[in-house]
Structures are given as structure tokens and as C-alpha cells.
Structure 1
Amino acid sequence: MPISRTIVEQIKRLIPPLDGTLHKGQSGRVGVLGGALDYTGAPFFAAISALRFGADLSHVICSPTAAGAIKSYSPDLIVHPILNENSSSETVKPELQSILSRLHVLIVGPGLGRESYMQSYAKMAVSIARERGMFIVLDADGLYMIGQDISVIKGYRRAVITPNVVEFKRLSELLGVDPGTPSDLRAALVSRILGGVTVLEKGAIDIISTDSTGEEASLAASQIAAADSQFEKVKETVHVDVEGGLKRCGGQGDVLSGCVGTFMAWGRCYEDGAFGDHKIPTSRIPLLAAVGGSMVTRTASRFAFAKNGRSVVTEDMIPEVGKAFTQVFGPHHHGGNL
């Protein structure tokens, strides 16, 4: 299904107003968990994109070996170098709990790496986020993590995964998806097998799908029902064919994670009553966030490519995120005025 006017209007309702009524933090507090010895750019791109998208605060939870570099990239980021290879889980867990208690969304994967200690801390963070009912985005090596143990995220309908072509193929095979399944149906099938987790399959056209009609999803919904009666069964697929740039530079997926994560943080603020008309059910927030983040990221990629052509790099996209947001959703738009 293409992007309908109804979907765009619902997305706009999740955008915080710029009218002076909100205080610091009510337009989204985002956390990115990633950044080990070899990877410092990816968590930076995700975290700074969240700020450029419109989040109030952006935190990076990383290894001490990555913290210095990430701090040097921008003074706007709040960096927590607590994922120490030599620390015990008992030491790190209360620190993670304290940080996550201040956030609306957790993005796991950019620059995470596959070292056992980073993967272990990531699983711990996702577990804490689930206990707190936070929204979660999983990308890159966060997808490797769930490939090793799908129970980490299975049935958690406040989550979005953002696999690229290779990651999606690997995950589909792992989940036992029939390779003969039509390509436009695979994302929905992966979502169903994962118990209603929203899938953002990146490609020439981004396919965003939520399918919570399976038995696993029904069980998860019943478990959540006591806390959130809005998690009814959902089955929906949206194709985002907004024009992007003609060069796919490494790091664009990290920008997407930051953009989707910010929309989900706004969704949590909306859900908590910070703003809005409260007509959007919680069960739609992950899909709407994925569609909105995809539209803006693809537009930012097109703007950056128009300026830089073949030489475009991810850093060129960052200044374009705000302009792309305005292009897609209008200046200072807030859907509550619709």
C-alpha cells in the first residue's frame, strides 16, 4: 500500500508543537546504545540525527574506548562510557537502569559490534527497556543479536527493526520464511513470526509492515493488555517510494535509526499526554514512526546527493535532515491543528 493521506495526517499528530507550551524533554529523549573500539561514527550519526530531527536530548551509551571520539564529534550529545569490557553485569545494570529511566526510546545497534561483552550489555538494555515499556529500534548488530536469540525482542510490539537487504535475507532465512514467498509479503511474514514487531525493510522502496495476527502476537498482546488496552491486532503494510539519493553511502541507515527513534520518542510523549489529541492508538505508533522516519531520511539523502553527487558521505546528510523534515511535513507543523 502506498502512503495514504490518512497515514501522513496521523504521523503529523505525533509531531510536538513549536508553540512554547512544552518544556525541555517533552519533545523526546533518545538513547543510542552502541560504540565499541572500531565503531564510533555509527552511534554518532544516529544520535545527532535524532537532535537534527527535533529531539530535545540525545544520549549515547557506549564503551569507554569509543567515548572520547564520540564526545569530540559534538558537544550536543550526552555520552555515557559505561559499557566496560572489564566490568561485571551487576555493576553496569543499575547504571543502565538509571539512564534508561530518563529516556523515551532506545536505539540499539549502530556501532554495537559483535564482541560478546557489547552484545551482552545490549541484551540487558533491551530487557530493561521492555520492562519499562519503552519504544525500541534495532538496527545493524542489534539485528545480529536477535538473530542469535529472537526471544530478546519476540512479541514486543513497541519495537521496530530496520534491516537492509542482506540483513533481511539473513533474518528471513533464520526465521524459516519460505524463499518462494513474494517479496512484498516477506516483511509482513517476518513481523508475524516475531510476534508483531514492526519491520522496516530498507531497499529501493522501503517496505514497512506490522502483522500481529499470529498466535505469538496474540499471546504478547494479551500479556500487554493489562497495561495497554490499545494494543489491538494490526495487519498493515506501507511502501515508501519517496525519492532518495542515487548513492547509498555507509551510515545512511544510522541516520534512519535516529529519525525513526525520534518519532517513536514523540509517540511516547504523545502517549503520555504531553501534547496532542490522543486519537492515535499506541499500536500504530511504531508503524507511523517507521514511515515518517523513512520519508525524511530518503528526502535528506536526495538533498545531500543533489549538492555533492558521487562524493556524498553520511556527514553531508546531517545538515539536510531538518530541511527534509520541513519538505515532508511543512514548517512548524503540528497535527493537533488538523
Structure 2
Amino acid sequence: MVSKNIQAAAVKKFIPARNSNSRKGDNGTVLVVGGSYIYHGAPILSSLAALRCGTDLVYTAIPKVNVQSTRAISPNLIVIPLVDQKLTRGAVRKLLGQIPKSLDSATIGMGLSVQDNEALKILVKSLIDSDVRLSLDASALVSDVLPLISNTNSVVTPHVGEFKRLFGDSPPSNLKQRISMVEKFAKEFSVTILLKGSTDVISDGKNTYLNPKKTPAMTVGGTGDVLSGLVAGMLSKNRNSLESAVAATYINGQAGKIVQRKVGLHMTSMDLIDVLPQAMKPFDRIK
């Protein structure tokens, strides 16, 4: 399989043009499920990233202990309190009764404490059964979900450690070998894998893209949460999981380059959010 670096021309094709007569909801509705007592910021970053990439509506489901602080960050967030501090079966069942029926995509796992993997499986299966495209990150990356997301236009966004937990093997440091491993598991489980690193590797087992970033400032916490929100935002507009993951990866990397030029090695993930419109502007189209 031949891998290729992501080119701006391809990304432009992967991000659909917006209809000049579109109404609220036509350009994507996203659900973000994440957060915990300690990691309250992760789902905020994902939600703001999804909004900044042009999604019309984002629903942010977080533990009720984090609701007040999350709402204080931005009036743009539609916050749904989870009834428990961790993801439990009860919290999932209540959430499924609260979310809109018109969801296009969801991202799950950023900063999330999962009390019971069965609760996670119930959430994932229910969303898939409702034709919601999924992006899974962090604590949602457990092997139990692999049979559920196979052949469903889903994306997983692990770093090296999460990759090993999900698939059982640790990606080699050698890029060529790393690409081969990503391609192998993407094909075996019929899922799009976005392996994060200094060079992101994205593959659906048939096609593979590389995103060499050269932005060491992006090691700061939260950049992966921004990426998860971008993936979900792209999935809300493009049903092709590989194209959505490639577009999100490229935009995230471009935002990182913009910020690093401005502030050097001192960026925060909120800096990425602020420049997302600049990173995406070359791909804006209205039909």
C-alpha cells in the first residue's frame, strides 16, 4: 500500500461546500461526551473545535460537577449534565433520552472516566444504531468497542499508548513499520485509524495518508482533544471517515504551525482554537 503526504488540494475536496440557503442544523450536529472531576477541559476543547470548524450545533455531555465551569467558558456550548461523575449504565441511558434525534456525529472519551465498559458499549452501539458517525479517543479506546465499530465509518484517534491498549501491539518508532502496523489493524477491523505522533498516520486499510507536522510545541496537553472535535465536526458533514480524519488532521496541524510561528514553544490548546478559522479559511466554499 502506498502512503502519501496530505495535500491542501485533497483537503479542499474532503470538506464539503456550504449551501448558501442552508439553515441551522444543515451543516452538522455533534455530540461530545467526555470530562471528569480532574479533566474538565478536554470536552470543552473538543466542543469548541467542532464549532470552529463550521458545525452548526454541538451538545456537550459532561459530569454534572463540571457543568457550571463549562457553561462559564462559552455561551456557545449546549451542555447536558451526566447524572454520575463517571460513565455508568444509568448515565448512558439518561443521556440517550436527552440527545437530539438529528445527531450526525459524536466524539467520545476525552478526559472521560468510564466506570463500566458495558456502559461505553451501550452508548457506542446505540449511537451507531442511530446512524451517528463516531470518533473515539482516550478512555473510549478499549478493545471491547472494536467489534461494535467495525464497518461503521468510525474513527479512532490513539496516541502510541492508547494504540497498544486498543489493538494489543505497540507501534514501532520506525515510520515505515508504524505505517504497516496501522494499515494492518485498519484493514483487520474495518476502521479508520488516526495514529497521532510527530507524523500522524491515517489509514482505513485501503488508503493511507501522512501528516508530518514539525511542530514540537504541540506536545502541550489538549491538542488531541482539539483534534477529536475537528474529526467529529468533519464527520458531521462528510460521511467518509478517512476523508474526515485526513481533513481534521491537516487543519489541526496547520493551526499548530500558525500558533508556533506566533508564540514559539509556548502555545496552549486554546491558542489552537483561536486560529482554527484562519487555518480553515482557504477551504471555505459556498455553493
| Fold equivalence (TM over 0.5) | yes
Specify the alignment match of 1:64 in structure 2: 64
Specify the alignment match of 1:132 in structure 2: 130
Specify the alignment match of 1:183 in structure 2: 178
Give the conservation status (yes or no) of the 8 Å contact 1:43–1:254.
yes
Q: Any idea what the Cα deviations from partners look like across 1:83-102, whole Å, max 9, x if unmatched?
A: 42599846751541440523
Q: Any idea what the Cα deviations from partners look like across 1:231-268, whole Å, max 9, x if unmatched?
A: xxxx1111123554544111000000111111100125
Specify the alignment match of 1:210 in structure 2: 204
**Alignment of 1:7 onto 2:10:** yes
Counterpart amino acid of residue 153 in structure 2? R
Counterpart amino acid of residue 190 in structure 1? F
Distance in structure 1 (CA, Å) of the matches to 2:71 and 2:151: 32
Distance in structure 2 (CA, Å) of the matches to 1:316 and 1:256: 13
Distance in structure 2 (CA, Å) of the matches to 1:299 and 1:4: 12
Specify the alignment match of 1:46 in structure 2: 46
Q: Any idea what the Cα deviations from partners look like across 1:284-336, whole Å, max 9, x if unmatched?
A: x1000001000100111111122222221111111111111124x2xx325xx
Q: Any idea what the Cα deviations from partners look like across 1:112-142, whole Å, max 9, x if unmatched?
A: 124x15x554332211111111100001111
**Alignment of 1:316 onto 2:268:** no
Distance in structure 2 (CA, Å) of the matches to 1:50 and 1:261: 7
Q: How does 1:142-153 map to 2 (within 5 A)?
A: 142-143=140-141, 146-147=142-143, 149-151=144-146, 153=148
**Alignment of 1:333 onto 2:279:** no
Q: Indicate the SS of the match to 1:153.
A: helix
Specify the alignment match of 1:232 in structure 2: none
Counterpart amino acid of residue 333 in structure 1? R
Counterpart amino acid of residue 7 in structure 1? A
Distance in structure 2 (CA, Å) of the matches to 1:88 and 1:321: 34
Specify the alignment match of 1:298 in structure 2: 253
Give the conservation status (yes or no) of the 8 Å contact 1:27–1:55.
yes
Counterpart among 210, 220, 237 of residue 239 in structure 1: 210
Q: Measure how far apart 1:205 and its partner are.
A: 1.4
Unaligned residue ranges in structure 1 (runs of 5+): 212-234, 269-284
**Alignment of 1:16 onto 2:18:** yes
Give the conservation status (yes or no) of the 8 Å contact 1:157–1:198.
no
Give the conservation status (yes or no) of the 8 Å contact 1:209–1:238.
yes
Q: Measure how far apart 1:27 and its partner are.
A: 0.7
Give the conservation status (yes or no) of the 8 Å contact 2:163–2:195.
yes
Distance in structure 2 (CA, Å) of the matches to 1:105 and 1:250: 24
Q: Any idea what the Cα deviations from partners look like across 1:7-64, whole Å, max 9, x if unmatched?
A: 335313x2424x2x10001111111001121111000000011111111111111111
Unaligned residue ranges in structure 2 (runs of 5+): none
Q: Any idea what the Cα deviations from partners look like across 1:137-193, whole Å, max 9, x if unmatched?
A: 0011111xx23x144534243100001122223434x26999999222111111123
Structure with higher Rg: it is 1
Q: How does 1:249-264 map to 2 (within 5 A)?
A: 249-264=220-235
Specify the alignment match of 1:288 in structure 2: 243
Give the conservation status (yes or no) of the 8 Å contact 1:33–1:122.
no
Q: Any idea what the Cα deviations from partners look like across 1:189-245, whole Å, max 9, x if unmatched?
A: 111232x1100011121111002xxxxxxxxxxxxxxxxxxxxxxx11111235545
Q: Give the TM-score taking structure 2 as reference length.
A: 0.88
Counterpart amino acid of residue 262 in structure 1? G
Number of residue equivalences: 283
Distance 1:319 1:47, change over 3 A: same
Distance 1:100 1:201, change over 3 A: farther
Q: Indicate the SS of the match to 2:210.
A: strand
Q: How does 1:70-81 map to 2 (within 5 A)?
A: 70-81=70-81
Give the conservation status (yes or no) of the 8 Å contact 1:244–1:299.
no
Distance in structure 2 (CA, Å) of the matches to 1:101 and 1:175: 37
Q: Indicate the SS of the match to 2:183.
A: helix
Give the conservation status (yes or no) of the 8 Å contact 1:29–1:58.
yes
Q: Percent identity?
A: 28
Q: Indicate the SS of the match to 1:51.
A: helix
Distance in structure 2 (CA, Å) of the matches to 1:15 and 1:253: 26
Counterpart amino acid of residue 199 in structure 1? I
Give the conservation status (yes or no) of the 8 Å contact 1:209–1:237.
yes
Counterpart amino acid of residue 63 in structure 1? P
Distance in structure 2 (CA, Å) of the matches to 1:254 and 1:133: 23
